[in-house]
Amino acid sequence: MNAVEWIRLIVGSIFLAIGMVILFTELFGVFHFKYVLNRMHAAAMGDTLGIGSCLIGLMIFSGLNFTTLKMFLVIVFLWFASPVSSHVLSRLEAATNENLDSHCEIYEDVEILERELAANRESVSIQEKEEKPL
């Protein structure tokens, strides 16, 4: 094996290892989080990042050919489809869950939320001004 093949082997293995770590972290999150939206978030992020990293590693192993193009198209499809589908499912869960207020804070009035966010931004900007040396 020459140096280029060794580099491809090492870089591809690193991407595969990163993808496997992400997928095992996803598996842990899906089985240990209590609330369904937390589990869905772990599954969606793990699918998008884990499968993408594994496919990039396989693309590096494969080299430049038609199979690499197909794997790239699978990655592009996953990057568009997985977040959209998980967002639709989470909106459905939030719309149909009658006990949602026991899991998160619900704002009935948007103006209350906007005031709280504005107050939070002001307090952060005041803290940043206090921390800046003159």
Q: What is the mean pLDDT of residues 114-125?
A: 79
Quote the CA–CA distance of 94 and 40 in Å, as a whole number: 12
Identify residue 43 by its one-letter amino acid code: A
Q: What is the mean pLDDT of the chain?
A: 84
- pLDDT at residue 17 in the model: 96
Task: Count other C-beta atoms under 10 Å from residue 128's C-beta.
Answer: 9
Chain-centroid distance, C-alpha 99: 26
- pLDDT at residue 57 in the model: 95
* Whether residue 14 has pLDDT greater than 60: yes
- State the DSSP string of 79-120: HHHHHHHHHHHHHHHHHH-TTGGGTS---S-HHHHHHHHHHH
Q: What does the pLDDT look like over 50-60, one tens digit per residue?
A: 999 999 999 99
Quote the CA–CA distance of 99 and 10 in Å, as a whole number: 49
Q: Global pTM?
A: 0.69
Q: What does the pLDDT look like over 88-105, one tens digit per residue?
A: 888 887 777 777 666 666
Q: Which residues of 15-29 are buried (b: 16+ CB within 10 A; e: fewer)?
A: bbebbeebbeebeeb
| Coil, helix or strand at residue 107 | coil
